[in-house]
Structure 1
Amino acid sequence: MKNLILLVSLLFLNCFLQVDCLAQKTKKSRFKALVLYENGGHHLAFTKAAKPWLNKLATDSSFTIDYIENTKTINEKLLKQYQVFIQLDYPPYTWSEESMQAFQNYINSGKGGWVGLHHATLLGEFDGYPMWKWFSDFMGGIRFVNYIPDFASGKVHVEDKLHPVMKGIPADFLVQKEEWYTYDKSPRENVQVLASVDESTYEPDSKIKMGDHPVVWTNDHFASKNVYIFMGHAPELFENEVYTTLLRNSIFWAAAKR
């Protein structure tokens, strides 16, 4: 009798596991995200904090996420698989001609959304590479000028409270440690500014300022939904609930079709 009960129990467990596995296999992913990240240099710590956070977000929110650490594999065939491209602290240079053209077509044609962080606006001539003019236009026609190398905290002010990216974000929030890039001009006239940093709140104070200083924006002149978030250097940002809410909102908004 005991053997019969054990057999039935094992059969039931096996059936349950098969059904559960089948359910997992057939569960449809909401969307696919491609993350381009830096695997070295002084942004490595941020990458190491970002990846587990992104993986948990993907699991909890039922989307698929893949990672690449350079642009060698970026082409039309690769990009058409993804509904959102996340440029995680990766600069707009060292790209091949094919990868640049594929990315431009992806954005110009609205084939997927884009979320860029921090290093994505390192625009200029670096390491022998010319400035990517199209990417500069994508970012509002700016060129990198300077940054605060010894870091400063700063208060970020939300300018467009009604934009979906700003859902659940307070009117002002503090970023404890950032480099605060400056550009040759404010991108404001060419983009929709969602938030800016109040340079008078820098602690410690710095002479490296630009006046009107947007730090979160979107460019409606391109077919793809896109969001640039300047903050993205310190791994401690993933302990900041406001920052993670902003990043989560941006990913979901950019991944959705217009």
Structure 2
Amino acid sequence: MFQRICRKILLFIPIMAGLCSLLAMQPVKPRFRVLVLAENGGHHIAYSKAARVWLDKLAADSSFAIDYINNTDRIDSVFLAQYQLFIQLDYPPYAWKPAAVNAFEQYISEGKGGWIGFHHATLLGEFDGYGLWPWFYEFMGKIRFKDYIADFAAGDVHVEDAAHPVLKGVPAVFNVKTEEWYTYDRSPRSSVHVLASVDENSYQPASEKKMGDHPVIWTNTAYKARNVYIFMGHSPDLFENNAYLTLFRNAIFWAAGKP
């Protein structure tokens, strides 16, 4: 009797091992899906390439999926419905296809997913023969691009709302060493919730291109989607800045609604 039982157990072990192997081969469902819209050329390409390396590693380590596109041709409501987070990585708010414009406005207004915009997302105005996108103008706090520090400058960013989840673990003041700080025709403060601003007196080298009140991280609480704009996004050396990486990581999980 005992020998028969042992033989059955021995026969059963390979079957169980095979089942375990098959289960291990099954793809793990990602926690959430992220769409990244990034330019495929221009003088921000080094930043975008560094961002992709960092994002791919974070996605692998944190079990989320990430897809990249470099134009808006594929974007419509059906396409966006696949994603819980839209990252506008150094991509301007103009030259979007009409279907993409309509789908994005609905996505944000109805809270169908979260959004993080970087740098070029506030390039609002008339550029390359394209006019102002009125909805996006409202979304970004009713600002128009005015000027920028073309020769770059380091600057100190001061956190204003340390309690916000996007800024958890971010130092009260952190330095960004290479940035082309934009100026706008007005501060967005009256239309958005400011999370951090840059101290223009900290610029190295000093610059006369100043706004006075100069927010650089904010969220617009008038929209259902969790959203955050982060101005800093020009130089790949940002991915050597621990404060920036903490900010970026926090923004992803907060905007996606995934703690």
Deviation at 1:178, TM superposition (A): 0.2
2:133 maps to: 132
Structure 1: unaligned runs, 5 residues or longer: 1-7
Give 2:119's aligned residue: 118
Shift of 1:24: 5.5
Correspondence list, 1:57-206, <5 A = 57-206=58-207
Residue 4 (structure 1) aligns with: none
Q: Distance in 2 between matches of 1:101 and 1:121?
A: 19
1:62/1:181 CA distance change after superposition, 3 Å: same
Residue aligning to 2:4: none
Post-superposition shift, 1:15?
A: 4.0
SS of structure 1 residue aligned to 2:107: helix
Q: Which residue of 2 aligns with 1:50?
A: 51
* Equivalent position amino acid for 2:173 in 1: D
Percent identity over the alignment is 62
Q: Identify if the C-alpha distance between structure 1 residues 66 and 46 changes in structure 2 by more than 3 Å, giving closer, same or farther.
A: same
| Stretches of structure 2 lacking an aligned partner (at least 5 in a row) | 1-9
Q: How many residues align?
A: 247
Residues 227, 59 of structure 1: CA spacing in aligned structure 2 closer, same or farther, 3 A cutoff?
same
Equivalent residue of 1:188, what SS? coil
- Which residue identity does 1:212 align to in structure 2? D
RMSD: 1.8
TM-score calculated relative to the size of structure 2: 0.92
Cα displacement (A) at 1:21: 6.0
User: What secondary structure, in the 3-state scheme, does the structure 2 residue paired with 1:169 have?
Assistant: coil
Moved over 3 A (4+): 18-21
Amino acid in the other structure paired with 1:202: Y
Q: Does 1:256 align with 2:257?
A: yes
TM-score using structure 1 length:
0.92
Q: Distance in 1 between matches of 2:22 and 2:102?
A: 41
Distance 2:147 2:74 in 1: 31
Q: What CA distance in whole angstroms lies between the structure 2 residues aligned with 1:43 and 1:93?
A: 17
2:190 match: secondary structure: helix
SS at match of 1:154: strand
Q: Distance in 2 between matches of 1:91 and 1:207?
A: 25
- State the Cα distance separating 1:23 from its structure 2 match: 3.3
Q: CA deviation at 1:257?
A: 7.2
Larger radius of gyration: 2
